[in-house]
Structure 1
Amino acid sequence: MNKIKFFAISSIFILSACGSDGSTPTSASRVGASGFVASDTPAPPLEISSQELDSAVKCSEGFGPDSGRAVLLVPGATQTVESNFSWNYIPAFDKAGIPWCAVDLPNSNTGELQASSEYITHAIRKMFNTTKTKIAIVGFSQGGVMPRWSLKFFPDTRDMVEDMIGIAAANHGLIEANLLCAPPVVGCITSFTQIAVGAKWMDALNAGGETLAGIDYTQIYTRTDDVAIPNFDEANGVSSLRTGDGNKVNIATQDICLTNTADHFLVGSSDAVGFAIVSDALAHPGVASVERLQALTPGLCLTPFMPGVDPLMFPINFATKMMSTFAQSVTLQPKSTQEPALRCYAGGEC
């Protein structure tokens, strides 16, 4: 039976659980030599209080036990739910009657990623336990990468998620983060040390395969991205997912509209083509289809904004919400001079 998807649409110290013999499992018992975490591996406990985790999750009025399938929105690095989604995806969902939740992450999603991932893990569980229906996740940039950490290291969440959709996701690390974090005395915002190319966090995430069986992965990228680079093709792009057993597709906006010029922040906030790819993935079984999307042209290619974006307010919203929050976060959020250590459950020292 085909699954039905809505047209819709994102530092802790983990104490390891005791084994049946009373001993404490080592990191190797959670992460195999290949980096793969088995689906029957117990999830590490969440160290952040449930009250704090709950307070970070915002949901639509239509979300509840009878709402059916819902979408979890995860903002990008330096962004909040308000700055990233309040003027585009959220009004589009509300108008369509689509239930959604969104999660605000510490320090505008610039904090330590293993801690921030607890918020995402909690949101996944909360949504699934409320609706008893698998959810979809839509994440932008760093927010398109982080849910994969939850799916890998908190295996119970795998049966709660049907779609993992990344928009301009930094699945293979950001070269810019390496450059920004290069001066060791100055430091950079904490998550940048972990999302950099060659970071321990990034390597742990991708070890053993980038996708998991039973989940549909649609990755959206733009060849004119100015942050997630290089992103010229599927074979070498930063955003593309190429390994693992999950059902996956990588689609450039230019695969649908050759003349699309959306950059990193536009494809994650206002671009009609990016939204169309998200919507196609959520409206059909499996992943998004280039063939279905190409059938929407040329009309789609002539559409300047996605549903939910007010054309008259776009310049103000883009500047005062998304880009202003980006500038403030890069300037004011706490800095780190080195990457935080991996936790025990992720292969770090126990």
Structure 2
Amino acid sequence: MRLVTRAVAMAACAAAVLSMSVAAHAARGHPTVHHQGPPLSVPADRLAASLTCGPGVVHARRAPVLLLASTALNSGENYGWNWQRTLTRRGIPWCASDVVGSEWANHNMEDIQVRAEYVVHAIRTMNRLSGRKVSVIGHSQGGMVTRWALRFWPDTRQRVDDVIGLAPTNRGTALGTVLCMDHCAPAGWQQRVGSRFFAALNSGRETYPGISYTVIRSDADPLVPPETADLTGPGRIANVRLQDRCPANTADHLAVGTTDPVAEAVALDALRHPGPARWQRVHRAVCGRTLMSGIDPRAYPDDVARTGQVFNHYFDSAPRVTGEPALAWYAVAAPR
């Protein structure tokens, strides 16, 4: 697919961007929030229409899972042919959140700060319906955006059990920074290494006690290498390389979030046990598998090709702007 070809071709250029010190871009003056958080600006009818759930979420017997898609995909394209089936077959209740609006917003190409409001709504709603804390599985942008919700809406912290990021852009994407040098979609600007968005997101602390964080990434992923995925901070954190369990694993960025059986096994380990995942608990037999359990092998060629085509279409054709969206007022207010 063009995504892989383009990523490999520009990996050397991205390495130069990675040499930048993220600390040099750390912003001052971002608030320490000790309340419920700002009112949600997204209209209530859009929030109500944003959540799609499988069976068993109401009065759930176990923590429900919130699925959050990557940049340039919506939840059906990212998860409808893999993770939703995996969770349903295992009796794990789930919901998927999508932005309601333009096709570009629905594919997570617009302001991530607005996307985060949908995540806040999803966490609150799922917690209320299930009576349990929520576990989150997110791919790429979807693996990072929950952290914005936790940072600026503190009431969500008591409602979340696990945050599981599949190749999450926790500090940006260096290759994306190279690709986004002039005109980019808003979400592209925000996911550049050293953006104002990441300065605000990672100000103060990256994680919160009481929540388990699992980062799952691959050495074969040129978009989100460990330097821009891993988390540090208080609480329970596991930064897991797929190659820790399976040294020959070659999953790229798209595969980590959609098809890779090792990523699936590590994420399920986090859901099964208190605390984050431990790759040592994952059986070595997973290294011999080619696809995650929810995928229909007969439909796989068409499913993965279609997902790659959709990604490339929205990444390439989304309306461009000339700079990063302004930080929301609550992210630059005086500390309190």
TM-score by length of 2: 0.87
State the Cα distance separating 1:313 from its structure 2 match.
1.5
**Equivalent residues, number:** 304
Whether 1:127 and 2:126 are equivalent positions in the alignment is yes
1:174 CA displacement: 1.0
Matched residues in 1 for 2:37 and 2:31: separation? 14
- Contact 1:37–1:155 under 8 Å retained in 2: no
Indicate the SS of the match to 1:268. Answer: helix
- Residue 260 (structure 1) shift: 0.6
Is the 2:60–2:132 contact (alpha carbons within 8 Å) kept by the matching residues of 1?
Answer: no
Q: Does 1:37 align with 2:32?
A: yes
Q: Residue 44 of structure 1 aligns to which amino acid in structure 2?
A: P
Quickly say closer, same or farther: Cα 1:304–1:340, change in 2 above 3 A. same
Candidates 187, 194, 200, aligned match of 2:190? 194
**Residue pair 2:172, 2:193 contacting (<8 A) in 1 also:** yes
Identity among equivalent pairs (%): 36
Q: Which amino acid aligns with 1:240?
A: D
Q: Deviations over 1:158-199 (max 9, x none)?
A: 00001001010111111122222212xxx1111010010010
Verify: 1:53 aligned to 2:47, yes or no. Answer: yes
- Aligned CA distance change for structure 1 residues 194 and 33 (closer, same or farther; 3 Å): closer
Contact map agreement 1:168 1:264 (CA 8 A) in 2: yes
Alignment pair present for 1:249 and 2:238: yes
Letter in 2 for 1:343: A
Amino acid at match of 2:44: S
Q: CA RMSD in A?
A: 1.8
* Structure 2 counterpart of 1:82: 76
Q: Which residue of 1 aligns with 2:291?
A: 305
Q: Does 1:325 align with 2:316?
A: no
Q: Does 2:230 align with 1:240? A: yes
- What whole-Å deviation, never above 9, does each CA across 1:289-343 have from its counterpart, x for those lacking one? 12212xx11x1110111111112221110011x1121112113322211001111
Cα offsets for 1:245-302 (capped at 9, x unmatched): 1210100000001111111101110100000000000100111112212xx11x1110
Alpha-carbon spacing, 1:347–1:34, altered in 2? closer, same or farther (3 Å): closer
In the alignment, the residues of structure 1 paired with residue 49 and residue 148 of structure 2 have an alpha-carbon distance, to the nearest angstrom, of 21
Distance 2:46 2:54 in 1: 19
* Secondary structure in 2 matching 1:337: coil
Determine helix, strand or coil for the equivalent of 1:214. Answer: coil
Q: Calculate the TM-score normalised by the size of structure 1.
A: 0.83
Counterpart residue identity of residue 229, structure 2: S
The structural deviation recorded for 1:348 is 5.8
The 2-side partners of 1:190 and 1:56 are apart by 20
Give 1:33 shift.
Answer: 6.1
Structure 2: distance between partners of 1:205 and 1:127? 24
**Counterpart secondary structure, 2:228:** coil
1:169 aligns with 2:199: no
**One-letter code of the match for 2:320?**
K
Q: Could you say if the C-alpha distance between residues 129 and 138 of structure 1 is closer, same or farther in structure 2, counting changes exceeding 3 Å?
A: same
> 3-state DSSP class of the match of 2:229?
coil
Show structure 2 runs of 5+ residues with no match: 1-26, 100-104
Question: Whole-Å Cα distance in 2 between the matches of residues 37 and 132 of structure 1?
Answer: 28
Structure 1 partner of 2:207? 211
For residue 88 of structure 2, the aligned residue among 91, 94, 98 is 94
Deviation at 1:122, TM superposition (A): 0.5
Q: Distance in 2 between matches of 1:334 and 1:67?
A: 43
Among residues 271, 274, 297, which one is paired with 1:282 in the alignment?
A: 271
CA–CA separation in structure 1 for the residues paired with 2:30 and 2:244: 33
In the other structure, the counterpart of 1:18 is none
Q: How big is the shift at 1:121?
A: 0.6
Number of the residue aligned with 1:258: 247
Pick closer, same or farther for the CA change 1:249–1:34 going to 2, 3 Å.
farther
Instruction: Supply the AA of the counterpart residue of 2:228.
Output: V
Q: Distance in 1 between matches of 2:176 and 2:288?
A: 34
* TM-fit CA distance, 1:34: 7.1
Deviations 1:202-235 (A, max 9, x none): 1100111211111000100100102113x3xxxx
Q: Give 5+ residue unaligned stretches, structure 1.
A: 1-31, 232-236
The residue matched to 1:336 in structure 2 has which SS? coil
- Partner residue of 2:220 out of 215, 224, 239: 224
Q: 1:278–1:288: 8 Å Cα contact kept in structure 2?
A: yes
Whether contact under 8 Å (1:36, 1:209) holds in the other structure is no
